[in-house]
Amino acid sequence: MVVDADPATQLDRLVRLRGMTEADARARMAAQATREQRRGIADIVVDNDGPLPDLERRVKDVWADLVRRARTAARDGEGSGGRSGERPEEERPAE
């Protein structure tokens, strides 16, 4: 699972909310996996380009879906760790 935001949104939040200089924020972003790399390996992508309070709702929705999947898998004897093949509402395919 990855929580994804546009690089401009990331930069703005690091500077405005964390008090970083733009240069430090850009360096931190450059030291991390690229957006494409993160999205490429994620089975669930939660969009975080909107207001931060919306993120909490989206994460709760994804969590509820994961719990539901785990209960269904346990009840159906699939055990832990298996994927049911269903995609939660907040999931978006990697671009």
20-78 pLDDT, tens digit each: 999 999 999 999 999 999 999 999 999 999 998 899 999 999 999 999 999 999 999 86
Neighbour count for residue 10 (Cβ, 10 Å): 19
d(CA 83, CA 32): 27
Measured between alpha carbons, how far is 64 from 36 in angstroms, rounded to an integer? 26
- pLDDT of 5 above 50: yes
Which of 61, 60, 82 shows the shortest CA–CA distance to 71? 82
Nearest-angstrom CA–CA distance, 95 and 74: 32
